[in-house]
Every structure is written in C-alpha cells, then in structure tokens.
C-alpha cells in the first residue's frame, strides 16, 4: 500500500538540517521518486453512448501522475517551517543552496504548468499556485448629463467615450 505524505512527516523532533546543497537536492530527488512510485487514483463516471446503454453511467478508476508541490516536498523532506522562511535562511547560507532552491521551485512550477497546458491539471488553480495572473483592467470614467442632449451631441459623447475605452 502506498504511503501518504502525512504518514512520512512526523510533526515532532528537530527540523531536518541540510549540511550541503547536494543533500537538499538529494531530498528533492527522493521526493520525485516517491511521487512517481505513488501515483494518485481518481474515481470518475462515464456516460455510455452505445445505443442499448443510453443514459447508463459507468464508474471507473484511473491512475494519474501525482502533482508536485512545494508543500508536499516540505512534508516529504521533513521541513517543518514555512517554505519561504526555509528558503530565506538557506539561500543566505550559500550560493549553492540558492541555486538548488531555485531549481526545486522551477522544477515544480514547470511540472504544474506543463500539465495544466495539456489539460491534466486545472489551469486556474495552477495559475493561482504560481502567482500567474491574466487580468485586464478596464477603467471607464465619464461624467455626462443626458438631460437636454441632442442626438448629435449624444453621438459625439458616445464617440468620445469609445475613444477613451
């Protein structure tokens, strides 16, 4: 039976101390290996489309790759602090730690974004997790007095408003 992350993380004892950047990277590699060896199983329902089975639903289980995340990596590696506190402390220790931390973040982000782009993960959730924003800000300000406006004045006002937008 596959172990869940909460079974691997023990909420007591001293936080894991990485003596070198290589140890941190090795912990990340173990996390990836664990993720590959422990895929997720989802249960879903499909509607039958055959003539005789119209309207019938069939349940099925599907095994999918486990998504990578910073939180899951921290649990797996025994990092008890928030990621940003851990990142700041270890990045200050050496340039090697800084490079490994950046590589870990980029690896996780790339796996999430790649899977979102092919439809395996929800795009909006991946965007939120990675602070990716796709927003358009429209700002319309106008002061108008419609009372007593002629048709030509109204048309000129609308044209001006469209130019501002």
**Rounded distance between C-alpha atoms, residue 153 and residue 117, angstroms:** 49
CATH topology (fold) of 5-48+56-138: Topoisomerase I; Chain A, domain 4 (1.10.132)
Residues 6+ apart with CB under 8 A from 157: 144, 149
Residues 6+ apart with CB under 8 A from 37: 2
User: Quick one: tokens of 105?
Assistant: 């973040």
The ranges assigned to domains in the chain are 5-48+56-138
pTM of the complete model:
0.64
**10-residue averages of pLDDT along the chain (165 residues):** 62 66 96 94 76 71 89 93 92 93 95 88 83 68 62 83 79
Task: Please give the span between the terminal C-alpha atoms of the chain, in angstroms, as a whole number.
Answer: 59
């Amino acid at each position: 039976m596959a172990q869940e992350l909460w079974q691997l993380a023990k909420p007591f004892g001293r936080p894991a101390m990485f003596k070198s950047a290589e140890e941190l990277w090795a912990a990340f590699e173990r996390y990836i290996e664990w993720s590959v060896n422990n895929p997720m199983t989802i249960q879903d329902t499909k509607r039958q489309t055959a003539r005789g089975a119209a309207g019938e639903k069939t349940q099925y289980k599907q095994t999918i790759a486990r998504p990578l995340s910073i939180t899951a990596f921290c649990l797996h590696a025994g990092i008890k602090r928030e990621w940003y506190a851990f990142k700041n402390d270890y990045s200050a220790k050496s340039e090697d730690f800084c490079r490994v931390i950046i590589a870990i973040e980029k690896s996780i982000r790339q796996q999430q974004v790649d899977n979102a782009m092919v439809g395996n993960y929800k795009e909006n959730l991946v965007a939120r997790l990675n602070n990716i924003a796709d927003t358009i800000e429209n700002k319309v300000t106008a002061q108008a007095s419609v009372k007593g406006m002629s048709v030509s004045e109204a048309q000129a006002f609308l044209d001006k408003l469209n130019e501002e937008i």
